[in-house]
Copies of this chain bind each other. A is one copy, B any other.
Amino acid sequence: MEDNAGMPPRAESAATAEAPAAPAFSPLYQQIKALLVQSLQGGAWQPGQVIPSEVELAARYRVSQGTVRKAIDEMAAENMLVRRQGKGTFVATHAEQSTQYRFLRLTPDDGTPPALQRKLLECRRMRAPAEVARLLVLKVGESAVQVRRLLLNGSTPVVLDDIWLPGTAFKGLTVERLQAWRGPMYRLFEAEFAVHMIRAEEKIRAVAAAPEEAGLLHLPLGAPLLSVERLSYTYGDRPVELRYGLYQTAAHHYRNELI
């Protein structure tokens, strides 16, 4: 712990540098956290896999175990990592039972766990419409993939999703690929396209069913629907999915916890 050669920047180096523009000092554990996020972003550790132990990471970055621990604590709180006592710390995945449909807040009123069947309606590639391009931070004219699907409870359609993805990141996403996939779509994204959703923002409204929507959801024209616009982010706060959802809330509700 004497020299610091070849090591990542320490807090001191940033703090002692008398830069005129105030280089935004950050505590050591935040720097370690940033390095860990970089490793995840770079694909050094895959979803579901163990990351090195706290002791090893401490040695690697030449900091104390407590500092690594604090960095990992924050990442675990943000659902990027999962700690398991006695086993190790794992990269979060949308594959596990507990985190499956982590982002779907629609729940049956009777409390039973949500069990919805998928019905793929469409999957096509096109130039991103202006609004989609704006939200996904694409250049004008860049390609996007549109996926439309229904979620059904038995024979009752409950959700109509209109999903938009950046074309370049999702090269090779086809109807067949989607059709063949069993399991959550976000799991497909992380397994086949190395895109891991870690956070999302939603804007929710009540709207009246338009003709096409009403037809697909087997509802009368003008029936009230929950409109959910979701923008999902991956590491580094990069938006990578835009999803317009229409939820039928006669026998379901959107649950939320305020803290």
Contact = CB atoms under 8 A, between A and B. Distances in A.
Interface of A: 77-79, 102-103, 105, 198-208, 222-227, 230, 247, 249, 253-259
Contact of A202 (B198, B223, B255): B255
A201 B257 contact: yes
Nearest to A78: B259
Contact of A257 (B199, B222, B224, B247): B199
A86 to B, nearest CB: 16
Nearest to A232: B258
Contacts of A207: 206, 224, 249
A203 B255 contact: yes
B225 A222 contact: no
Given A204-B249, A224-B225, 4 more contacts: A201-B258, A203-B253, A203-B254, A226-B226
Contacts of A199: 257-259
A204 B258 CA distance: 13
A199 B257 CA distance: 8
B78 A204 contact: no
Nearest to A197: B258
Contacts of A205: 226, 249, 253-254
B201 A256 contact: yes
A247 B206 contact: yes
Contacts of A103: 258
Nearest to A254: B204
A102 B257 CA distance: 12
A202 B259 CA distance: 11
Complex A-B, nearest 9 residue pairs according to Cβ-Cβ distance, in ascending order: A206-B224, A205-B249, A204-B254, A206-B206, A224-B224, A200-B258, A203-B253, A206-B226, A202-B256
Contact of A204 (B77, B79, B226): B226
A208 B224 contact: yes
Given A199-B258, A259-B199, A253 B208 contact: no
Contacts of A254: 203-205
Nearest to A79: B259
A103 B223 CA distance: 28
Given A222-B222, A224-B225, A225-B224, A257 B200 contact: yes
A199 B256 CA distance: 11
Contacts of A223: 208
A163 B52 CA distance: 51
Nearest to A104: B258
